[in-house]
Amino acid sequence: MTAIEFENVSKQYRLGLVSTGTFSHDLNRWWTMNVLHKEDPNLKIGETNDRSHKGNSEYVWALKNINFKVEQGDVIGIIGKNGAGKSTLLKLLSRVTSPTTGDIKVRGRIASLLEVGTGFHPEMTGRENIFMNGAIMGMTKQEIGRKLDEIVDFSGCERYIDTPVKRYSSGMTVRLGFAIAAHLEPEILVVDEVLAVGDAEFQKKAIGKMKDVSQGGGRTVLFVSHNMAAVKSLCKKGVLLENGMVKETGSVDDIVGHYLKGNNEIANHKLWEVPEIKKEGFELMEIGVRKQGADYTEMMRIDEPIELVVKYRITKKYDQLHLTFHFKNEQGQKIFSCCGGTRCYPLEHQEGVYEQAMLIPANFLNWGSYFVDLYVVKNRSKGFLIEDDVISFTLGNRQQELGTWMGREPGDVTPNFVFKETKL
């Protein structure tokens, strides 16, 4: 059974002014639409929503000709770069705004968590907001009351539940908002990147709850995130958006792989002729993970050393600058971090091109997929350039090739300890 259907859905915005700019233009638009009952003349104007280019038109298509279906019980990950149209798509689905053209057919109640504080009245207490949100979803006071203790317990905000929401931190607001959305038994749960505001403990709880909602309750979940590991952990299917259009739909592994690869042929190697990741005089030119000394296309295994290679350009002098890498497993959990720093190279950097190579020994990581976050740090303070999931790579297991594979050992590392056995 189809839960959600997008049919030729488009959303157009005008840059700059809210109106058309002149009274005559506004009058012509009103006359065409309300008297002649014709299409808005401004719809014939518009450019693709590519935020990196200035463009020539005042109108942009935040979404253009979106067509896909979501079946009941599906867990869909919607991914894409900033400005691709992910949040706009969820706002249209949640009826925060309406599409310029096209139709969205929804079968079931929707609970949405789009932005910090969405749907909350700041002067009302947390308890009052729970009842208000439930009433908006069409639930009775008795139904909400039966879920109240469970919602408060999950959110971890019991001490503040009778305090006005305006005094909540952003993390507390997200906790309560998600608890409401997940526990008031919606047929469709819509969650935007807002979960990133929560701490690691809450993110783990939230993803676990979404799994329970989809698998146990058979409900539909649409999940937007830039954390590809979390998307792969939660979702079975994916939708890749690019410049407001659907580029691809399919299994989540394929969609995430194609998103991470971008215009490159393989996910574990990225090379830019014109750097896209740059800030404050730092430009990332190339990054990849490969078997030590080999080509990036060669298969990597756990029993062979691998290396992370990074090439970057510095366009101004730095007294102290270093790169830190956070390695994550398929569930998005950080398993270790590493930074060369003064142990490996001088922190002072002059203008020029640099290359770093970090060696990971054989029999260290378990087989499976891994993701790497990049932090560029100056003056030993907080990173000024942070790029999540900048690269991903997969390690195979030699035992599979030999036909003696017994399954994956638990854990993310497989240290090659020496065992000594003595018969007594």
Domain residue ranges of the chain, discontinuous segments joined by +: 2-8+63-259, 269-402
Which of 75-79, 80-84, 242-246, 276-280 has the lowest average pLDDT? Answer: 80-84
Residue 273 has pLDDT above 80, yes or no: yes
262, pLDDT greater than 80: no
If you write DSSP's letter for every residue of 385-414 in order, what string do you get? EEEEEEEEEEEB-HHHHHT----PPSSSB-
The CATH architecture to which 2-8+63-259 belongs is 3-Layer(aba) Sandwich (3.40)
**How much is the average pLDDT of 51-56?**
51
pLDDT number for residue 285: 95
Residue 201: what pLDDT? Answer: 74
Instruction: Confirm if 223 and 113 have CB atoms less than 8 A apart.
Output: no
| Per-residue pLDDT band at 17 (split at 50, 70, 90) | low
Residue 20 confidence class, pLDDT cut points 50, 70, 90: low
Same fold, 2-8+63-259 and 269-402: no
- Residues 374 and 283: their CA atoms lie apart, in Å, by 12
Mean pLDDT value of segment 187-212: 77
What's the pLDDT score for residue 372?
A: 92
Rounded mean pLDDT of 14-18?
A: 61
> Mean pLDDT over residues 306-312, rounded?
96
| Range in 185-194, 237-246, 380-389 with the lowest mean pLDDT | 185-194
Residue 266 and residue 250: Cα distance in Å, rounded? 18
| Domain 269-402, second-level architecture | Distorted Sandwich (2.70)
pLDDT digits (tens, 9 = 90+) for 281-302: 999 999 999 999 999 888 888 8
When pLDDT is averaged across residues 304-310 and rounded to a whole number, the result is: 95
CA distance 154 to 150: 6
Contact 301/395 with Cβ under 8 angstroms? yes
Read off the pLDDT of each residue in 8-35 and give the average, rounded to a whole number. 72
Cβ(151)–Cβ(139) under 8 Å? no
Does residue 404 carry a pLDDT above 50? no
pLDDT: which is higher, 111 or 269: 269
- Residue 47 pLDDT > 70, yes or no? no
Q: What's residue 21's pLDDT?
A: 59
Looking at per-residue confidence, does 121 or 406 come out higher?
121
